[in-house]
Amino acid sequence: RPRGPVLVPRRVLHHVVAAAVEGLGGAGRGEARLGVLIPDPAQQAAAESRWGGLGRVTTAAASPYRGTETVEAAGQALRTAGVGLVVMDCIGYTRPMRQTIAQITGVPAMLASAAVAMIAREILEGAT
């Protein structure tokens, strides 16, 4: 049995994104346009299922391991869709990729790894 808190990254990310979407004024009402960046087009249905309860979901695929061109193209697709927030739903995405997505879309982009790390840091710092 663990001696301290155990974070489930998938759940942490979902709650952080839900709070952000609520701030956009659309949580649960289908009004928010959430962009979800996924690494593989085959994950589209799973992403729509996972995030669909938070609003209208637009997915775009870009592998974090294949260069910036696919990330830029995905950003263009999300901008065209008019999303209000982008969640980068893969731990392989990097801060420079987040900056690229935010610049192209003109909306906040959230790195999965950074969101989970922020919560973990808060818990750990609060325990000392």
Got the DSSP string for 21-76? HHHTT-TTTT--EEEEEES-GGGHHHHHHHHGGGSEEEEEE--TTS-HHHHHHHHH
Q: What is the pLDDT of residue 125?
A: 82
User: According to the CATH classification, is domain 9-121 in 3.40.50.2300?
Assistant: yes
- 81-128 confidence digits (pLDDT tens): 999 999 999 999 999 999 999 999 999 999 998 988 888 888 888 766
Q: What is the pLDDT of residue 104?
A: 98
- 57-94 confidence digits (pLDDT tens): 999 999 999 888 999 999 999 999 999 999 999 999 99
What residues does each domain of the chain span? 9-121
Answer yes or no: pTM beyond 0.85.
yes
